[in-house]
Structure 1
Amino acid sequence: MSKIHITREHSLGLADARKLAFRWAEVARQHLAMKCVYEEGEEADLLHFDRPGAHGQLRVTASEFVLDAKLGLLLGAFRHRIQSEIVENLDRLLAHEDPHAAFDEAVARRAARKSAGSGKA
């Protein structure tokens, strides 16, 4: 089983970080078919996510996001690509960009690579 660990520091405070975590969960549900359960705490929140082949949690505090995920055998082969897309999406969220647009761009890039690799125009 492959593991992903990502930490991103921020200066948002817990209330605003929580809002971004809700947006991240919305994108995960809509675009990745993730089941997400959000637990609010006084000092930190936990967002648990799960789908076939992947599960983990996003820890949300007043000063950082910490994502830990485990990928099954099939998705584990794509760990580096998955990790880089998660990093890109978290960074876009922190830059207050639309997370749906970030996901749509990643899908378009992936389709372009696949098309270029197959020799189709």
Structure 2
Amino acid sequence: MSRIDIHHPHSLTAAKARTAVQEVADKLDARFGMQSRWEGDTLHFTRSGVDGHIALAPNELHVTAQLGFLLSAMKGSIEQEIRRVLSERFG
């Protein structure tokens, strides 16, 4: 199993950051069958082979994900795509 751990700065208000994270989660839900739920300021997401969360803090997002065996082989590509989306959405 592989682990992804990304800290990404942002300058959005808490409400705008939450909305942006939810929009990304909605796309993941539609595209990959991810299921997500909010607990406070943390969005938890899961599907077969992936379990993770995105924690919102003032000025920073913290993304962690545990990848199962099959997805571990694609860790580099997955992490690169996460970083691309974060840069696109959060500058």
How far 1:13 moved relative to its partner? 2.1
Determine what percentage of the aligned residue pairs are the same residue.
34
8 Å contact from structure 2 (residues 11, 90) kept in 1: no
**2:32 paired residue number:** 32
Larger radius of gyration: 1
Comparing both chains, which one has the higher relative contact order based on Cα–Cα distances under 8 Å and sequence gaps of 6 or more?
Answer: 2
Q: Deviating runs (4+, > 4 A) in structure 1?
A: none
* Structure with the larger strand share: 2
Please report the RMSD computed on the Cα atoms of aligned residues, expressed in angstroms: 1.0
Please report the TM-score for the alignment, with normalisation by the length of structure 1: 0.72
- The structure whose residues are more often helix, as a share, is 1
- What TM-score results when the alignment is normalised by the length of structure 2? 0.94
Equivalent pairs counted in the alignment come to 91
- 1:68 corresponds to: 64
Kept in 2: contact 1:53–1:74 (CA 8 A): yes
In structure 2, the partner of 1:84 is 80
Unpaired runs of at least 5, structure 1? 96-121
Contact 2:3 2:64 in 1 (8 A): yes
